[in-house]
Amino acid sequence: MKIAIIGAGCSGLTAIKNLAEAGLTDIVCYEKNSQIGGNWVYSAAPGHSSVSEATHIISSKAMSQLNDFPMPDDYPDYPSHQQILAYFQAYARHFQLNTFIRFNTTVLRVEKIENERWRLYLDDGTRPEFDYLLVANGHHSVPRHPDWQHHFAGKYMHAHDFKTSQGLEGKRVLMVGAGNSGCDCAVESSRVAARVDISLRSAQYIIPKFIMGRPTDAFAASFHWLPQVVQNWLQKLSLRIQIGRYRDYALPEPDFPPARAHPTINSTLFDRIRHGKVHPRPGIEKISGQRVHFVDGSAADYEVVIAATGYKISFPFFDRALIDWEQATQIPLYLRIFHPDHPSLFFVGLIQPQGAIWPLTDLQSQLIAQLLTHRIQLPSNWRELAIAEGKYWQQQFILHPRHALEVHYHRYRQQLLKLTRSPA
């Protein structure tokens, strides 16, 4: 049994570890960069997919660490990107994962061949073939640009390329989008820019990192067993106590339950707004030169526009006729892993949980390893379940490509645990 893995980021590492631990040792993981870590390898180079210089995780240490490899005791509640990279480097050393990885090797193309097998076309000219393929290339590498990208005459950039506030000194900056990247970029820009405005096309739950003195995700986990309607009420009540009303910050009030959209976890934005360092604006109507017209009839001139408008689900190595989910709002995968048309193809980390992703990719990888070693079997109707599951998750969230990969952390975790033999 020959197994290929694409990507040695955090998802790829948990895949290698669990497959090898199950006795599946004919594994090759292809990583296009020179080291493990994926987006957590910081680089200031434009176009390189990485965190920004000031990034800290938005899920807490307690909820993000892997069950069999806890983070160091001296790590803070929200570790920095340097600490996260060091954590996964230590994880790779501890489980001797580097022996399975071929660095500086790009998978140019993947072709499905006879008997449900896969041929990989590598940039070194070789074409190895495998019985199974695990895709762990991440989903934050190909920016989704707005339609008006080329209408702006000043400096335009996507949040993907925002690494530092250097170069924004004294500039008038418009941040478009109030997701996690958008709020982080707005906060960092406001430290040096002459003015920073942030444009929100729709209401957004922006949630502080601590509630009642506890990390937000740990606080929420304490009542995840309650009915969803009760959870929503408690979350809204705790937010009202913690920050007041969103309109107190000139932000639009959400008219939907917190669980219907991916939350933005950011404490600093509220402080920057109330100190006059970040100014909320409504959605954009049109752009003429460097002048931006907003839907409320107001307009302003900017020297820099930064678009935090999300990412496409991209697999550059697959033919679009095989898989193309760039514009999808529904992903038909059983347990977000198994493709109904390709039983020897598995996806690891192709999720956007309302919580930490790494414990979930660890469980995904355990499930795949147990399946390949015949410790478990998928339900006989798993292909039908894949279609139904895609529709189910689509209905749980606001209809938008941003939520195509969204899952409720605890509900999804229980789905995985139900099928695996994991005691966790």
Tens digits of per-residue pLDDT, 20-40?
A: 999 999 999 999 999 999 888
Q: Which two tokens stand for residue 379?
A: 């339900």
pLDDT at 47: 60
**Residue entry with tokens 């006989």:** 380
pLDDT at 189: 97
pLDDT at 405: 92
pTM: 0.93
Is 145-307 in the same CATH topology as 3-142+311-421? yes
The DSSP bridge pattern shows strands 117-122 and 107-113 to be: antiparallel
Task: State which residues of the chain have pLDDT below 50.
Answer: 423-424
pLDDT at 193: 97
pLDDT at 138: 86
Burial of 301 (0-12, 13-18, 19+ CB in 10 A): exposed
Domain ranges (residues) in the chain? 3-142+311-421, 145-307
pLDDT at 51: 80
Q: Which two tokens stand for residue 321?
A: 């006729």
Cα→Cα distances 369→16, 141, 301, 348, 407, Å: 10, 27, 55, 12, 22
CATH number for the region 145-307 comes to 3.50.50.60
Burial of 327 (0-12, 13-18, 19+ CB in 10 A): exposed
Q: What is the three-class DSSP state of 41? A: coil
Please, are residues 359 and 420 in contact by the beta-carbon 8 Å criterion?
Answer: no
Q: 358-372 and 409-419 are packed helices; what angle lies between their axes, rounded to 10 degrees?
A: 20
Domain 3-142+311-421: give its CATH superfamily. FAD/NAD(P)-binding domain (3.50.50.60)
pLDDT at 54: 86
The Cα 110–Cα 315 span in angstroms is 10
Please, are residues 307 and 154 in contact by the beta-carbon 8 Å criterion?
Answer: no
